[in-house]
Amino acid sequence: MNTIGNKLRLTTFGESHGVAIGGVLDGMPPQIQLDFDRIAAAMAERRPGGLGATARSEKDLPEFLSGISPEGVTLGTPIGFVIRNEDCKSKDYDVLKDCFRPNHADFTYELKYGIRDHRGGGRASARETACRVAAGALAHQFLTLKGVAVKAFLSSVGHVGDFDILERLARRPELSDSFEIQEPLREEMMAEILRAGKDGDSVGGSVVCIVTGVPGGLGSPLYDKLNARLSAAMMGINAVKAFEIGGGVELCKSRGSQVVDAFVKRTDSGVMTSSNFSGGVQGGISNGMPLFFRVWFKPTPTIGLPVDVMRRDGEVEKLTVHGRHDPCVALRGVAVVKAMAALTIADFILEFGTQA
């Protein structure tokens, strides 16, 4: 239940304000010389404390306990790591011990387990995503060796954003390799986040992810499709409520004759098509074109305004919950989407190989 992946499997553990969070990445191929700076950079991208993010400050560097030789080379054995919890202001959360915040996991955890660590969201806290990012950074290094690149960026905040980006990527596949597609509205989006924060409010957003260099032949009909597993990986990120691949929702309003991905030629690892409405997947199997998809994050329910909470006895009361939180989780979600994409694609490559 706390494990994802088939051949490359991540298991995580840890509560937000417990001793530590951590994980085990099992199935990482042997003999890869790791670059620990890349891991630190990925962690930094997700780290709280930046612009528009929670004020909690942690170094968040994983300590690796196994699976890596003294020279920094993977052994093929499971890679265990821990990230100690520091700077926990657990006192901020005392008020939550006996009440549930709306739209949070407080109530459902209590319902399911009859007990929960209420401090900082406990197991349901987005803090757990630090483990995903650490593991994703390892997977990403494997992908780099295979010629696969994963990039992700913020594509909307509230009503500000690049709402026809999927169509552009579908119509002009060459944009997948370009940087011009990324965050043309970054300043406007950041301004919107700041506005929400100043209002004591939060705001939803979306992240687009593009994976290039994906070999054809990944994914397995009928119940282990590449798009299905990608979707599950993304919907498993806190606050995600929608997923689109390729042409997405707009594609599904079109006529078939308008969205034909005409064949151009076969390539070493698949096929080249003139457009890419399929988003690199046909029949659940990658075809060698870039993968791209959009992940939608709801506004975080943790806001600085008074909300109706429910006490354990069923009574409802108004409460303003203090504590540090992000006005727009999509911002830090970029690093998490990238990590989950890297883990998922690496898993598929390890399952099916790279030769079509």
Q: Which is nearer to a second copy, 113 or 186 (CB)?
A: 113
Q: Which of 352, 348, 332, 338 is nearest to 53 (CA)?
A: 332
- Tell me: does residue 145 bind a second copy (CB under 8 A): no
Q: How far is it, in rounded angstroms, from Cα 80 to Cα 246?
A: 35
Count of Cβ atoms closer than 10 Å to residue 184 Cβ: 14
Q: What SS3 class is residue 63?
A: strand
Q: Which is nearer to a second copy, 111 or 145 (CB)?
A: 111
Q: Which is nearer to a second copy, 77 or 178 (CB)?
A: 77
Contact set for a second copy, span 218-247 (CB under 8 A): 220-225, 227-233, 235-236, 238, 240-247
Q: Which is nearer to a second copy, 60 or 261 (CB)?
A: 261
- Tell me: does residue 65 bind a second copy (CB under 8 A): yes
DSSP H or E run through 243: strand 240-245
Q: How far is it, in rounded angstroms, from Cα 80 to Cα 138?
A: 12
Contact set for a second copy, span 83-122 (CB under 8 A): 100, 102-105, 107-109, 111-117, 122
Q: How far is it, in rounded angstroms, from Cα 201 to Cα 301?
A: 9
- Tell me: does residue 167 bind a second copy (CB under 8 A): no
Q: Which of 89, 146, 172, 298 binds a second copy (CB under 8 A)?
A: 298
CB of 157 to a second copy, least distance (A): 9
Q: What SS3 class is residue 324?
A: coil
Chain mean position to CA 248: 18
- Tell me: does residue 73 bind a second copy (CB under 8 A): yes
Contact set for a second copy, span 187-206 (CB under 8 A): 196, 199, 201-206
Q: Which is nearer to a second copy, 150 or 295 (CB)?
A: 295
- Tell me: does residue 26 bind a second copy (CB under 8 A): yes
- Tell me: does residue 45 bind a second copy (CB under 8 A): no
Classify the phi-psi angles of 43: left when phi > 0, otherwise alpha if psi is within -120 to 50, otherwise beta: alpha
DSSP H or E run through 153: strand 149-157
Total interface residues for a second copy by CB under 8 A: 141
Q: Which of 159, 179, 180, 268 binds a second copy (CB under 8 A)?
A: 159
CB of 176 to a second copy, least distance (A): 17
- Tell me: does residue 155 bind a second copy (CB under 8 A): no
Indicate the residue type of 317: E
Q: How far is it, in rounded angstroms, from Cα 148 to Cα 213?
A: 4
Angle value at C-alpha 226, between 346 and 260, nearest 5 degrees: 125
Binding map of a second copy across residues 259-288, x = CB under 8 A, - = no contact: xxxxxxxx---xx-x---xxx-xxxxxxxx
Query: Token pair for residue 297?
Result: 């994050």
- Tell me: does residue 55 bind a second copy (CB under 8 A): no
Q: What SS3 class is residue 313?
A: coil
CB of 56 to a second copy, least distance (A): 18
